[in-house]
Amino acid sequence: MDALTFKLAKAIVLRHEREHGTDTPIELVRCKHARSTTWRGVVIAPSAKRLGGWQLSFFDACGFYGDSQHPSKVDAVEEAVLEGFVTVSHGRLEQAMRDSQWQAGVRFNDPERAHKAHTSA
């Protein structure tokens, strides 16, 4: 990882902790362009799989579609930044979870099938 990416990740973590405390998950989004309705998000939170670790969970409008494990919060945010997730988002996950498209994705437990079912309906 390069120094600039690490600095950006560290800055995101520090600002988030200053504004929201250390116990709240960090949400970041990636859009194709500023007015895009196509987006993907990540949430960085204590790992559900590794004690003391941090989990980077990927989601979109249809649900979660993957995760990765990291030894620190900064490491998880650094991977997110490298993947293009640099816009801080508050509440995007909660908003998405209330949407019918998310409900279809959860019901199918497969985002690709959920997208197909949603677009063919």
CA distance 2 to 6: 6
Of 37, 30, 41, the residue nearest 94 (C-alpha): 41
Domain count, the chain: 1
Q: The whole model's pTM is what? A: 0.81
Residue 61: domain span: 3-120
Per-residue pLDDT of the chain (121 residues; tens, 9 = 90+): 689 999 999 999 999 999 999 989 999 999 766 566 678 999 999 998 999 999 999 998 888 989 999 999 999 999 999 999 999 988 889 998 998 888 877 656 555 544 454 444 4
| DSSP per-residue string spanning 13-81 | HHHHHHHH-SSSPEEEEEESSTT-S-EEEEEEEE-SSSTT-EEEEEEETTEEEEEEEESSHHHHHHHHH
Q: Which amino acid, 90?
A: H
Quote the pLDDT of residue 13. Answer: 96
